[in-house]
Chain A
């Protein structure tokens, strides 16, 4: 197995009920998950097929959609998010991707998430809690192309920041679309700068495109400050 996140890989939908809010809880989870992995054989980790092109990491597609009229909370966010599937090779990636609707064609208030297997697309995940994300706001019509370019670069290890990348998100909103890429260490400016530069290159962004870096702790604070007023999933 080439996946560096083998230990975390059993992070499937069965974990939905677990509380992700506390770091301590997350740490405790690890051994449990490892045990689970050994016990639950049916949850086999994805591996590249014969002759396929293995990726450096395994990834998992997620999909989330805001349930209209429901109060936002961590719990509801977690319940709204669905795993679509995991893959280990370029070929397997295309299997999922080509059976999924392009982001630009999604309806409503919905997000696609593509994260390394074992990392949940949540601020509270161990891999994310010290991290942050680059945010690019796109006018309507650009999301499909930009999203594809972004994830191809991520899967193809074009960012060259070691294990820093956690995942990417495309958020379809009413008047605009947002794409973001998450990394582990928000304080690592060299890394975040490198990610920014690579983003500009692979997305072929005009120079005046506004790119914003936001740490997850800021996001959490903002969410807590406006708890109940701001939708939980916004900005994620």
Chain B
């Protein structure tokens, strides 16, 4: 009976607490748990279950409420602490109207010691939780019309009072809960997960990774309960009660919030920003039995501050516009995973299985429903067998380009057929047998899309075209020279697309996604974002900055020219001959050269030697090339690489609040930002307002993005891939606004 009681008390609390501290849930420092001032954690088993939310969504709120109270055996009244402390927990207000929750975690907690009774308790509580979840959903549905208004916030107290003793939670995280996502598809993942979770032989690190520090308080509390029955009954109902209260009076809560703002799409979202300890592999923890599902959100949607925007545009002109979402995602090809198993030794085996990862991946795509999806490391057979069929059903049109050579993966761009139509496709292979430098088998895709707008029942092309590019540059940290050349090919193709639009009098905006295998602010990144790079003498390893190889006794440096002119790409990353690659070749075979290109070769070494057969005519053929100003001008720029595509990064590479670096990829050898979404930003327009009014503004307006996570936090989730994130990269998601100039 005590066990049952304990569970009744424990589960709701856990639910509540995990809601409040989702991000910490993987990073549990059991030893830090203090019970009545004593550090205690004896290895109670705790685990998280990940599942897709959103089973059947009947309106059961009434019933649910009833059931919610069932476990609350003795008192309905919430403890005052629970109700008030959430508000004081330092939640910040965060405006996230349309933020869907990222990942939900159903977690289960179970006291290890209560063997036989466990099953019963587990079932009951499972029900309760499920109903509670449904209840939440129902409630959120009921307020669905005002989703954007709804701020369902639940904060957890920093301190819980149990038996009169204050227990300081070990992390000062803020958290909030959101309604669960009604749109979340039910996928068999849930069953899989449950099955795997109930498997007692599962890897020991899972429990560790599944528990938040906040849970510790919770657990400690509940473990204390048996010692004090009254305390138990007083405390137990609180979580549930406070949650439901929260939903009833979101406004009240919101009023009390400071600093944070929450996503309010039906769904549960939470964010924790506490300093966390790393637990890469807490394998010494005892195994855990999963039971109760809990929902946790790991990543939140961050909208761009509307205030700062309005500074840029003091007055807005009504225009038709198209909001669209772009996702860039390196999904980790299974073959590469298996080839580099040492990078994923920290992962439980089941999260490395393709079927499992694939279903997580697809549900993540479905959740964010990007209008444009740029995938890297898409294994060819998986693309054809698993991804493409589902993506097609989801309304995507896909373009796939496999890497050349022996590697089985490639890149894909998928776009919603109802939003865009294809105007041009370029599949690029960076392997150029005639150019020694380009001996690597990486690829890229450049698409030219035209926005579709519904006019009546019809979809019509409208507005300026959008160039979408996706690539996965060479990984090898030492070969910055190859990376730059590959990047130059991409930029040249993008440039050609832009030019083809310009020729029709259209401005073309660019979204350039991919895994660039280069970290922020290093030379390659600089070239992309500033359009310029003085490369002379830079060590090749430094180009990407992935690793500091300066300790090596010798390394190569960059010297002009980076690549031979036979590549057909200039040092302003443009094609030198218009017919070089299937762009605009009217009379194939004609060797056309632009003025700019001809000028670039003016001072090539071959041009500076006096022709042997040139007769000397004083005053006519006695010029010397290096005396003119022009010559010096051209010399000056020979060690410079430029491009003319205006690009900025969606992500700022530092996390909001904590200031720690964002991480887009993580494996056992470390984490970093190497994935990007670059786009043509909307520049503050000139003073010439008339010009502004005449034509649609150039550039894309960034509306928001999906927050990334820090390396510490990811390690607290046991690294990548894990039960929530199916790849060793995180997805990057951004929403843009494209002005349609036919308004």
Residues of A within 8 A of B (CB): 2, 49, 51-56, 63, 82, 84-85, 90-96, 98-102, 106-107, 110, 149, 152-153, 155-158, 160, 162, 202
Q: Which of B147-155, B608-616, B702-710 contacts A (4 or more CB under 8 A)?
A: B608-616
Residue in chain B with minimal CB distance to A151: B598
Asked if residues B611 and A99 are in contact (CB atoms below 8 Å), the reply is: yes
Residue of B nearest to A112 (CB): B620
B613 touches A85 (CB 8 A): yes
Contact of B601 among A91, A160, A162, A202 (CB under 8 A): A91
The answer to whether B593 touches A94 (Cβ under 8 A) is no
CB distance from A126 to the nearest CB of B (A): 23
Closest CB-CB distance, B502 to chain A, in whole Å?
A: 15
> How many A-B contacts if CB must be within 8 Å?
110
On chain B, the residues within 8 Å of A53 by CB distance are: 565, 576-577, 591, 593, 601
Instruction: Please tell me if the beta carbons of B591 and A99 are within 8 angstroms of each other in the complex.
Output: no
Residues of B within 8 A of A152 (CB): 595, 598-599
A49 contact set on B, CB distance < 8 A: 606
List residues of B whose CB falls within 8 A of some A CB: 564-566, 576-577, 586-587, 590-595, 597-599, 601-604, 606-611, 613-615, 617, 619-625, 631
Q: Is the CB of A2 within 8 A of B591?
A: yes
User: CB distance B615 to A82 under 8 Å?
Assistant: yes
Chain A residue numbers with a CB within 8 Å of B577 are 53
Asked whether A55 lies within 8 Å of B614 as measured between CB atoms, the reply is no
Overall SS of chain B's interface? loop
Chain B residues closer than 8 Å to A158, beta-carbon distance: 592, 594-595
Given that A53-B576, A157-B592 are known contacts, is A63 also in contact with B606, CB under 8 Å in the complex? Answer: no
Q: Is the CB of B620 within 8 A of A101?
A: yes
B residues near A85, Cβ cutoff 8 Å: 611, 613-614
The listed residue (A84, A101, A155) touching B619 by CB distance below 8 A is A101
For residue A54, give the distance in angstroms from its CB to the closest CB of chain B: 6
Q: Are A94 and B604 in contact (CB under 8 A)?
A: yes
Most chain A beta carbons < 10 A, residue from B576, B603, B619? B619
User: Distance in Å from the Cβ of B569 to the closest Cβ of chain A?
Assistant: 12
A84-B614 CB under 8 A given contacts A98-B607, A101-B620: yes
Q: Are A90 and B593 in contact (CB under 8 A)?
A: yes
- Contact pick for B591, options A55, A102, A149, A202, CB 8 Å: A55
Whether B608 contacts A98 by the Cβ 8 Å rule is yes
Min Cβ gap B519→A in Å is 34
15 contacts between A and B (CB under 8 A): A56-B590, A56-B592, A82-B617, A84-B617, A90-B593, A91-B607, A92-B607, A95-B607, A95-B608, A95-B611, A96-B611, A101-B619, A149-B595, A156-B594, A158-B594
User: Which 6 pairs of residues, A with B, have the shortest CB-CB distance?
Assistant: A94-B607, A156-B593, A98-B625, A91-B606, A56-B591, A157-B592
Chain A residue contacts of B611, Cβ below 8 A: 85, 92, 95-96, 99
Asked if A95 and B609 make an inter-chain contact with CB atoms under 8 angstroms apart, the answer reads yes
- List the A side residues contacting B601 at CB < 8 Å: 53, 90-91, 94
With most chain B CB atoms within 10 A of its CB, the pick from A63, A82, A156, A202 is A156
Closest chain A residue, CB of each to CB of B609: A95
